[in-house]
Amino acid sequence: MKKILILTGAFLTAVAQGIPVDLLHVEFNRTPIETHGFIGNPVEIRRSPDGWHLNFARIGRTESLPLPHSYWKRTRPEAVVFRARALQGRALIKLRMIDGDGHWFTTAGRWIEPDSDRIVFPLDGMKQGNGRCRLMSLQVDPEIPGTELLLKRIDVTFERSESEAIQIVPDTGAGMLPLFDGIPRFIIRNGTAREVRRNAKFTFTGLDGSTYELSRNVELPSYGEIRFTPENPPPHPGVWYGKPQTDTQRVMFANIPENGLSAPANPEFEFAVDNHWIDPAVIEGMRYLGIRAIRSIVGWERIQPTSGADWNFPVFDARLEALEKAGIKMRETLVFTPKWAATDNPKNLPFPRNRKPQMTAWENYVRAMFERYGNRVEYFEIWNEPDLTGFVDFPVEDYIGLCRTARRIAREINPSIKLASGGFATLHPALWNGAHCRFHEKVLQEAGDTFDIHSYHEHGYFPHYQRMVDQEFLPLRKRCGITQPWLASETAMHSAKGTDTEQADCLFKKLLFTWARGAFSYTWYGLCNNGYDLNYSEDNFGIFDRFMNPKYIFAVYAALIRDYREAVFLGQFQAENAPWLFAFRTSRRLLLANWSLNPSGGDIIYAARGNGSSAERIDLEGNSSRLPSHRGIALFPVGPLGSTFVFNDATQLDSVELVAELKLPAAIFRNSAASGELLLVNPWPQAMNCAITPQLPTGTQIIGLPVKKELPPGEHIKLPFQVVCENEINQLKITLAFDDMEAVPLTAPLHFTILASDTAFQERKPDFRLNSYAQLESNFEFDPATAATLWRGPEDLSAEIWIGRNGDRFELRADVRDDRHNPSPVPHQLWQGDSIQFALGFPGQNGHFELGAGLNSAGKPVSACWIVPQGFQIRKLAEALDVKSKRQGNLISYRISLPLSAMGVNAKQLSAGFRFNFLVNDNDNGKERKCFLRLAPGIGSSQTVKHSPTVSCR
């Protein structure tokens, strides 16, 4: 026992004190050279499996080599370790860095010599700043003409625990991306100056939660490495995440078959992506996925940067030629007014992208693009998101003029040139007082004949996207008589704060729904993340991260293309509980894309009637499992995540019917019996025996369910039971097997409830508090120029929230502490100023409520309603909302009351349990919201109550 304690104490001491550990910053062998280059001295750069080879033509200084993967580090490194070697001659290297306060720092020079491949740059001389820094560029001085260098890696040294000394990275070989078809390969590295001898273990997690564990005894010298190929592949094909390796980088790889571009394209539907740049890594990723079209904006300001006579066609030619060589179609957007072409620029902006262009300049630009590229580009989009003033800050009539001019020129040059409308951003009726909706409609009414393709964006999760398409976009097309084909040309959802699974699921649902609603293509935005911080939404829309590592969504897109590449859409099926069911046909099978209406629900079992020989289920990542099938009837689960039911050898699908469902109360309390019900329906024409097997964790029991039940044909059987849980668990799971066929899972979520008592709020503790960094969403957190505006703690912004029922009314009290009070500068955008927002979601309703309150410039309370479930009216909810507020110094107290009848619920339903979310907005500069604190994701962005806590008001 004493020996164990001594060893443990020694280990804890090492962890607490920390040792210098080098963590990967960039690997040059995985970095394309096309997007980076030297300024100054001519130098030949080529990439190989070893890294970048630099060959200098003559003596002289290279001022700067912009470094790839140059992201903000939250913790200042102690040193930078540069892995490089001189193959011919030698060179002096310096590093340029910047800290979070904007101070620049250049390291002392170090020589790259032929006999050493590791150079250490201490960072003791850097100012402390705010604890963050960024590695920006290299300065290289070759000593003699013909100097040749090999750049391998850049690592940064931090104080980390000894357990982090061993690092593992995918071995990409000659490729740039960690994509494997079979057993993956790895490199194991010692990131310290010490020799390491021990067992190294690594764990990777898949989208479905399964794990892939690797173990290897290693003996590594200082900074040594070995290549390692495991004996076994991961449990199934997919994308796998290792534990975070630095503040922003994760070890990730894909283990899926390559789709490639050799198979014929789907003639009915195009799978596409958007990306801001094109390089070999981007093309390699698209080819592996099987994507044949990309929206990649070069922009007017780069084609004619300084004047009407300054044509920079090579910037477009290089991009287009690289795509054509790979067999990928390019979609270009004619957008972004150069400074010289703007009709007015009152703020003298260096890039007045959204200003109205001079018509002559516009005509010359459009004509040149059509003449040079008209028969090579799939289509030209006329501006980007013209319904937003950030892109078009001029009247709609002038935008229509741009469209008419482009149409006229296209007809003159080549009538086969395809034009698309500007990709309209959104049709959300509650934003900007509806100005964007009126803009969109006027363009369709007065310039609908100027485009061949109707282009639409609408970011967000599927429920929002579906509402906008079905309730706004398609009715608008019909109202304006638009018959041209449409596409989703830029729509996605981010994966910030660990929502990678939700992002992957979002792609599956939005793409197939778009197809089912008649579009000819879906374009995910984008192929690669735009930045490095995993907590900032704008950095995390990509299929790859910014290091070109595949995210979970990569496997989903690959599976969609692989499984639906030959598909033709048949129609939408209806069934009890209204799941989403979209049927497709290939030459060999019928596909039924499916997911439940309730994003927070469980798996419900359905029966498909048709003439298939066998059935299977394909999950999000494309992995197949066998399903029970008997006499033309197959059973399959429908859950909150998307999946595909497959009927092999089927030529028809007649109907989809409910077979089994678990029903549980909306509110569950620990150690209290909750009443549930198992609904069973026998879809076969003869009696069947159903085996019922609960899958229960320790501390959970089900009382009253039989282990087997004989079911007459066609009858609905309801089996009551009780469930008691000692511990909080996510879901209740039961498997059902009909007459010894394969078992099918049936699940239901368990919502353990926060109990809110009476409305004597001043006499009890708050139900919720907002006062921590983990609850923060900030606009400026990752911009060093606005570091002074960062949230500084509870005195800057915090809130205490109470909720309860008073008779037939729902009541809420929120005490908000805010050091500066600024109302919204835009009256119809309450959320841009200091304000509160809250969401309510009730079982049985299609959608949820989102409402808000604040103070106007006169200090009077104002309110708003943005979202209501289907069947409710925003205006009526806004009228029913009663808001009182009182401000004393830095404290604002809100008291909100809302009739239960206005929300279609009663006291019993409030007691049974509902979803609740809340946020508080902060505006410190009087111009815009800087940040907000929220209880759970799904409010403030990506609107949903899926993640909201369940509350009971009794």
User: Are 776 and 846 in a shared domain?
Assistant: yes
Q: How far is the C-alpha of 352 from the C-alpha of 593, rounded, in Å?
A: 45
> By residue range, what is the domain housing residue 937?
754-953
pLDDT at 75: 62
Distance between alpha carbon 593 and the CA centroid of its chain, in Å?
A: 21
Q: Where residue 110 sits, what CATH number does that domain have?
A: 2.60.120.260
pLDDT at 5: 27
Q: Is residue 354 part of a domain?
A: no
Residues 6 or more apart whose CB falls under 8 angstroms from that of 725 comprise: 668, 670, 671, 699, 700, 750, 752
Q: Where residue 701 sits, what CATH number does that domain have?
A: 2.60.40.10
> For 335-491, where are the E strands, in sequence order?
379-382, 419-420, 454-456, 486-491
Q: Which of 749, 781, 796 is the last residue of a domain?
A: 749
Q: Which of 218, 233, 255 is the last residue of a domain?
A: 255
User: Are 133 and 234 in a shared domain?
Assistant: no
pLDDT at 780: 44
pLDDT at 130: 55
User: Are 720 and 582 in a shared domain?
Assistant: yes
Q: Is residue 773 part of a domain?
A: yes
Per-residue pLDDT tens digits for 548-576 = 999 999 999 999 999 999 999 999 999 99
pLDDT at 224: 86
Q: How far is the C-alpha of 186 from the C-alpha of 934, rounded, in Å?
A: 40
User: Are 150 and 191 in a shared domain?
Assistant: no
pLDDT at 16: 30
Per-residue pLDDT tens digits for 384-421 = 999 998 899 999 999 999 999 999 999 999 999 999 99
Residue 133 amino acid letter: C
Q: How far is the C-alpha of 902 from the C-alpha of 92, rounded, in Å?
A: 73
User: Are 660 and 679 in a shared domain?
Assistant: yes
Residue showing tokens 């619920």: 905
Q: Is residue 303 part of a domain?
A: no
Q: Is residue 833 part of a domain?
A: yes
User: Are 654 and 621 in a shared domain?
Assistant: yes
Query: Number of structural domains, the chain?
Result: 4
Residue showing tokens 């049936």: 746
Q: Which of 749, 768, 787 is the last residue of a domain?
A: 749
Q: Is residue 886 part of a domain?
A: yes
Helix axes 435-447, 396-413, angle to 10 degrees: 30
Q: Is residue 819 part of a domain?
A: yes
Q: Is residue 121 part of a domain?
A: yes
pLDDT at 2: 32
pLDDT at 68: 67
β-strand partners of 186:
170, 228
β-strand partners of 244:
250
Nearest alpha carbon to residue 450 among 395, 381, 552: 381
- In order of 940, 945, 949, the CA distances from 936 in angstroms are 10, 9, 8
Q: Is residue 389 part of a domain?
A: no
pLDDT at 13: 27
User: Are 154 and 170 in a shared domain?
Assistant: no
Question: Is the CB of residue 207 less than 8 Å from the CB of residue 501?
Answer: yes
User: Are 843 and 722 in a shared domain?
Assistant: no
Which helix (H) or strand (E) covers residue 120, if one does?
Answer: strand 118-122
User: Are 740 and 760 in a shared domain?
Assistant: no
User: Are 690 and 782 in a shared domain?
Assistant: no
User: Are 808 and 770 in a shared domain?
Assistant: yes
- For residue 443, count CB atoms less than 10 angstroms from its CB and return exposed for 0-12, middle for 13-18, buried for 19 or more: buried
User: Are 79 and 136 in a shared domain?
Assistant: yes
Q: Where residue 860 sits, what CATH number does that domain have?
A: 2.60.40.1190
Mean pLDDT (10-residue bins), the chain, 954 residues: 28 36 72 59 79 79 67 68 91 86 86 88 68 79 88 79 78 92 93 84 94 93 90 97 66 96 95 94 97 96 96 96 97 96 82 92 98 98 94 96 98 97 91 88 98 96 92 97 98 90 97 99 95 82 94 98 97 93 96 87 94 96 96 95 97 96 85 92 95 94 95 94 91 93 92 79 87 72 45 87 93 94 86 95 93 92 94 95 92 96 94 93 86 89 85 86
